[in-house]
Structure 1
């Protein structure tokens, strides 16, 4: 296989460079920004490190500009332990989630372009097509807006309403996506945004209100943990590294 423009040569068994967690957070930000998760400074990505700390993106940098060195380590009360930037204002939503569900590894919140349309409608978009049904898990609606999630009280209420679902439409707010790996979080987030976009287009076109995808297909998709689509996340990572030489250099030259 020919070398990629960033100097990394993928092979069938090794489709991307080995990434550490900070690099995964940055690349989740880059790849999801390109998929509609791009509401300016809004949005938070956290990873539970299993030692009473979380890694998260910083406040004041957009998802398309942060670098691995900018990623913060915080405690479960939101205090910065490592890093030079402030904590994102809406981090209480993630603190509440990780406190209520300590098994959760990756959590993503943003006001995605079409996901937010459905959050404004206060409805879960139907999955009309195969790609929109990917990712697995349960999608729920949290239809009570109790204020911005920079309030811990509002965040706790939202997390209680999410329960043990894997993706949520937050009424009047945005979307929330959970996965046990960066790969799963990316697939679930992309599929949710495609589902929201295509469902809106079907509605505008005067199409059916209900999807015609068979129940057996939806049941099978719902059982997925989001990790089965090998190559989906990896292709997005390679594209992001090709597009940004400085990020590629930071990733590829890190001592391993």
Structure 2
């Protein structure tokens, strides 16, 4: 008998609210853990956004705390405040019909490279997983991205990409599902971490990954690696067996 690794066999069926919570908690473990910082948005069929609220850390987030907002940032549903930096996501979802999920945060190594204003190279396979096209450095903005005009400028500077370092700020990862976002966000931080370690060693290794492999991964939509996201979900449910009790 052949085992077919479908998502349904590897984890429970989840609502969008539950996916946001599990994504936040799993990414917290992967270094997306800058205290209260960070936003995750998921565009809904009615044009509204589900997102994590302000004042709740990602490692403590629960499904009943997820809020619903419109594309002007008005709170439509929930009893927690709208995140302060949400204009970056509002500008994104207004401009990009190809993006339904987005995550912004300040992971350590990604932020180091953003502070340097430099794109780190890809040194290994794990750093290339998830696709998303070329990693873009966004430094053509003035002022904080909680200003809508500045946020629009940052989105324009993405040039249609799905992975960005925001100079002096953090990272921005886009996709079409929680699975794609998790894969891309983890791979981006691994890429930044390993490139930093190699730089710290004073090494300048020649590229070893075939160009064909890198092009294939660059063109991936991030949804093809069944099992990676599902394993993270199972780990979070083991860590907090009560997380889905509100169903």
TM-score (norm 2): 0.94
Deviation at 1:154, TM superposition (A): 1.1
User: 2:94 aligns to what?
Assistant: 99
CA-to-partner distance for each residue in 1:18-71, whole Å, 9 max, x for gaps? 000000000010000000000011100000002120000000001111100000
CA 1:209–1:162 in structure 2 vs 1: closer, same or farther (change >3 Å)?
A: farther
Instruction: Please give the root-mean-square deviation of Cα atoms over the aligned residues, in Å.
Output: 1.5
Q: Is 1:60 equivalent to 2:55 in the alignment?
A: yes
Q: Is the 8 A contact 2:88 2:148 kept in 1?
A: yes
Q: Does 240-249 or 156-165 show the bigger shift? A: 240-249
Q: Deviations over 1:184-227 (max 9, x none)?
A: 01000000000000000010011116633221111111111101
Alignment of 1:21-32 (within 5 A): 21-32=16-27
Structure 1 residue runs of 4+, over 3 Å off? Answer: 10-13
Q: 2-side partners of 1:117 and 1:197: how far apart?
A: 9
From 183, 187, 190, the counterpart of 2:186: 190
Give the Cα separation in 2 of the matches to 1:216 and 1:41: 40
Closer/same/farther in 2, CA of residues 51 and 173 from structure 1, 3 Å limit: same
Deviation at 1:110, TM superposition (A): 0.3
Match of 1:123 in 2: 118
Structure 2: 5+ residue runs without aligned partners?
A: none
Gaps of 5+ in 1: 1-9
CA contact (8 A) 1:145 1:172 kept: no
The CA distance in 1 between the partners of 2:109 and 2:7, in whole Å, is 34
> 8 Å contact 1:105–1:180 — kept in the other structure?
yes
| Structure 1 CA distance for aligned equivalents of residues 129 and 197 of structure 2 | 18
CA distance in 2, matches of 1:100, 1:92: 12
Corresponding residue for 2:30? 35
Tell me if 1:155 matches 2:151. yes
In the other structure, the counterpart of 2:167 is 171
The C-alpha deviation readout for 1:100-129, integer Å capped at 9, x for no partner, is: 013311000001111000000111111100
Alpha-carbon separation, structure 2, partners of 1:164 and 1:143: 15
Mark the CA change 1:155 to 1:12 in structure 2 (over 3 Å): closer, same or farther. Answer: closer
